[in-house]
Amino acid sequence: MPPSLDVSEYHNLLRSFLAEDVGAGDITTETTVSSAQHARGELIAKAPLVLAGIDLFGEVFRLLDSATEVKICSRDGEELKPGQIPARVRASAHALLTGERVALNLLQRLSGVATLTRQFVCAVAGTSAEILDTRKTTPGLRSLEKYAVRAGGGRNHRRNLNEAILIKENHIRLAGGVAAALAAAQTAKDRAAWIEIEVTNLDELLAALAYNPDVILLDNMNPALVRQAVQQVRAHDPARKIRTEASGGITLANVREFAEAGVDWISVGALTHSAPAVDLSFEIEPA
């Protein structure tokens, strides 16, 4: 079941993208193509990809021409092969030409995130580990990039700083240590969806276990050390109420080793900060 996206929530964002690109007007289109001209466009996959953002793609043109007709042939979350056509659009030629770059940029970006996420999800298939994103997102695009992660089969970590307590290295240093940070965090337990702390070695792990946090983040540990850490958590918490998460230095080449080490979550910043845009083209002809 593909994730759902209410495009109406993003109208203002899309308008801001168009304003940035169009400026005072698309002088090339206005001077070379009649305003009465109508056209049709085909969106074409040029490489294997996982689709994300197809409804936003069509909505860009609707904002420029309310009479735009969009035929969606593939849904978000679907894997496409080169040559497949996920959408066809009919509108004024001015709308198609003016909105083309914004619509493509956004779709290529989000589909890139979904495609990379799917690769990580497939790499850990058959294990109990789940692939999660991080807050390493493009400012202004977080909700859409996290949507793309879901389209790729991943899960979202916390959406913002208000959702959960995640005590990281700098917090620990400023608070005075793992124990001090976790003790202080208990005062906000009712306001947070969960309490999580980052540890970098087994001594920090033992200090954290004394406070039974909801999640323990095993940061920049190699798979062998992650396995030891998970075993210690399970020995302390046989009911498995404490989740374990691995993060740092995780790639497609080694992610399965981390999954097989027994962690519940594997968070990968690269899903959103390093996903390459996928190859899609939009070919326009007279209607």
Please report the sign of the dihedral spanned by the C-alpha atoms of residue 157, residue 160, residue 161, residue 165.
negative
Q: b/e string for 29-54 if b means 16 or more Cβ within 10 A?
A: beeebeeeebbbbbbbbeeebbbbbb
Annotated active-site residue 240? The verdict is: no
Considering 75, 136, 155, 159, which one is annotated as catalytic? Answer: 136
Pinpoint the alpha helices (H) of 197-286: 202-209, 223-236, 255-260, 270-273
| Catalytic residue selected from 100, 219, 245, 264 | 219
* 46 in catalytic set: no
Catalytic residue (choose from 65, 130, 133, 198): 198
Contact in structure between 211 and 183 (CB atoms under 8 Å): yes
Does 198 qualify as catalytic in the annotation? yes
Out of 71, 168, 173, 191, pick the active-site residue: 168
Burial level of 251, CB count in 10 A (0-12/13-18/19+)? exposed
Instruction: Please indicate whether residue 219 is annotated as part of the active site.
Output: yes
Amino acid, res. 203? D
Can 136 be counted among the known catalytic residues?
yes
Which two tokens mark 200?
Answer: 């970098």
CA distance 74 to 42: 13
The CA distance from 153 to 132, in Å, is 9
Catalytic residue numbers, as ranges: 101, 136, 168, 198, 219
